[in-house]
């Protein structure tokens, strides 16, 4: 189970001055492509909510290009890969790790200052490497140095593009024992910070500052940069809010409905985080929803089962289940009702988007108490509640959108 949301105190608060385009980004001008920018990029995804707990993308880095798999994470900014420098605490074999080739970013480079803003990087010698450290809400962490290398990216039309991008070479990783490390080699940071891969591409004028993903309930899906794959109709939108010192994709205020009825839960803000396997509500909201579901199940053929530790709350039916859909009629839809001035937009979370079937055939609640894992008053919409939906993060218009979609088909 992943919770890749960057902790607020460690979150990379990035403002990159235009001068960076003269350092890291100058290498773009030599790259040839069959048409003019802005481009759209589409990446197939692997993974699932359960049992894996993450969705991943494979990217080719270096020359010759080598495949690396990344956990996709809209809850953090920095992209990093486990690095043979050598590596402490790495979860993958040495031959799967990235091997740096004298390509570290010096601490005097503006992108290093941006990485550490509002603090300044320790830089006694301008030629010293640019160090980083990131911590996540699941208590995992990565420490390393910033490097630059070429990425082989596929455009929507099938042609290739090879920009040089800055990312983390992680040579010291920590994974909390309660959460086994994923089989991925690193994290693809898709937050709003200037160090993110998308923002680097945008700063070079190569794509729109828009990204999105479509996570399939069957496993897999796709990730995209740019706006060419967004449907022209049917998309619901709500405003992104920008709390101070926060690069998360935060929406609200909103109210939570249960079975279409008001719950008294209002004024809520929600962070959309593809790095979180499950959805998290603050303690008050979580307890209210658990009570509503519990009251609804009274007299129904489901019983609490304490011995199943898959998630905090699980129920046992008359016989082992194979699919959430077998019990869909026993549970009700949750609705996040966003108030956008005079209009409302609603994100429907049906039972199959907040329940899983455990390995023993029980049904478990994929909504967890965020206050118990250090999220304090935050509410997080995780992968489980974004399945079967194209979710669009539009940084240009500062809005977040969603529309039901077939996530098993790559857009053309």
The domain spanning residue 277 has which CATH number?
A: 2.40.70.10
Residue span of the structural domain in which 190 resides: 41-225
CB 192 within 8 A of CB 7: no
Backbone angles phi, psi at 59, to 5 degrees: -125, 145
Tell me: do 247 and 388 sit in the same domain: yes
Quick one: which of 271, 274, 166 has its CA closest to 224? Answer: 274
Q: State the pTM of this model.
A: 0.91
Q: Which of 73, 77, 138, 149 is catalytic?
A: 73
Name every residue whose Cβ is closer than 8 Å to that of residue 347 and which is 6 or more positions away in sequence. Answer: 236, 335, 336, 338, 381, 402
Cross-strand pairs, 56: 46, 71
Tell me: do 163 and 205 sit in the same domain: yes
Average pLDDT over residues 75-104: 92
Tell me: do 272 and 381 sit in the same domain: yes
Instruction: Give the pLDDT score at 178.
Output: 65
Task: Convert the pLDDT of each residue in 117-165 to its tens digit.
Answer: 778 888 889 999 999 998 888 878 899 999 999 999 988 888 888 999 9
Q: Indicate the pairing of strand 399-404 with strand 389-394.
A: antiparallel
Q: Is residue 30 very low, low, confident or very high in pLDDT (cuts 50, 70, 90)?
A: very low
Report the domain count for the chain: 2
Instruction: Give the pLDDT score at 1.
Output: 58
Tell me: do 63 and 110 sit in the same domain: yes
Tell me: do 267 and 192 sit in the same domain: no
In a domain, 117, yes or no: yes
Exposed, middle or buried: residue 237 (CB in 10 Å: 0-12, 13-18, 19+)?
Answer: middle
Q: For 193, which DSSP code?
A: S
Q: Is residue 400 very low, low, confident or very high in pLDDT (cuts 50, 70, 90)?
A: very high
For residue 15, is pLDDT > 80?
no
Tell me: do 299 and 151 sit in the same domain: no
Tell me: do 48 and 122 sit in the same domain: yes
Task: Convert the pLDDT of each residue in 362-383 to its tens digit.
Answer: 999 999 999 998 888 899 999 9
273 is catalytic: yes
109 is catalytic: no
Q: Which of 273, 308, 383, 394 is catalytic?
A: 273
Tell me: do 200 and 245 sit in the same domain: no
In whole angstroms, what is the distance from residue 250 CA to residue 269 CA? Answer: 7
Task: Convert the pLDDT of each residue in 99-127 to its tens digit.
Answer: 999 999 999 998 898 788 778 888 889 99
Tell me: do 358 and 321 sit in the same domain: yes
Tell me: do 279 and 338 sit in the same domain: yes
Tell me: do 212 and 340 sit in the same domain: no
In a domain, 140, yes or no: yes
State whether the Cα torsion 167-172-173-174 is positive or negative: negative
In a domain, 386, yes or no: yes
Give me the chain's average pLDDT, please: 88
Tell me: do 209 and 254 sit in the same domain: no
Q: For 205, which DSSP code?
A: T
């Amino acid at each position: 189970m992943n919770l890749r949301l960057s902790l607020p105190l460690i979150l990379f608060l990035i403002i990159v001055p235009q001068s960076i385009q003269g350092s890291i980004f100058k290498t773009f001008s030599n790259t040839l492509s069959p048409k003019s920018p802005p481009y759209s990029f589409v990446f197939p995804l692997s993974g699932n909510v359960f049992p894996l707990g993450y969705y991943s993308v494979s990217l080719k880095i270096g020359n010759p290009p080598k495949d690396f798999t990344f956990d996709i994470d809209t809850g953090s900014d920095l992209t990093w890969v486990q690095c043979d420098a050598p590596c402490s605490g790495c979860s993958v074999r040495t031959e799967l790790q990235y091997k740096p080739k004298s390509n570290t970013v010096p601490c005097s480079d503006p992108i290093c200052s941006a990485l550490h803003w509002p603090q300044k990087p320790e830089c006694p010698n301008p030629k010293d490497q640019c160090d980083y450290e990131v911590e996540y809400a699941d208590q995992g962490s990565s420490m390393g140095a910033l490097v630059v290398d070429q990425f082989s990216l596929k455009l929507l039309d099938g042609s290739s593009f090879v920009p040089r991008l800055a990312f983390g070479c992680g040579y010291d990783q920590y994974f909390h024992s309660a959460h086994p490390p994923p089989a991925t080699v690193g994290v693809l940071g898709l937050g709003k910070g200037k160090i993110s891969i998308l923002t680097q591409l945008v700063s070079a004028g190569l794509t729109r500052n828009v990204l999105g993903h479509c996570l399939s309930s069957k496993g897999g899906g796709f990730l995209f940069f740019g706006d060419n794959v967004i449907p022209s109709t049917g998309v619901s939108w709500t405003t992104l809010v920008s709390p101070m010192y926060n690069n998360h994709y935060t929406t609200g205020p909103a109210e939570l409905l249960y079975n279409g009825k008001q719950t008294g839960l209002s004024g809520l803000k929600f962070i959309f985080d593809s790095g979180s396997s499950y959805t998290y509500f603050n303690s008050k909201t979580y307890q209210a929803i658990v009570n509503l579901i519990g009251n609804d199940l009274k007299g129904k053929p489901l019983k609490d089962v304490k011995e199943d530790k898959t998630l905090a709350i699980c129920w046992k039916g008359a016989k082992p289940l194979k699919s959430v859909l077998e019990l869909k009629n026993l549970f009700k839809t949750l609705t996040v009702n966003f108030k956008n001035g005079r209009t409302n937009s609603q994100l429907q979370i049906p039972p199959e988007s907040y329940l899983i079937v455990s390995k023993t055939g029980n049904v478990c609640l994929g909504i967890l108490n965020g206050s118990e894992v250090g999220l304090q008053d935050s509410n997080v919409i995780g992968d489980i509640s974004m399945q079967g939906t194209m979710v669009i993060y539009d940084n240009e218009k500062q809005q977040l959108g969603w529309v039901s979609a077939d996530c098993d088909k790559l857009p053309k």
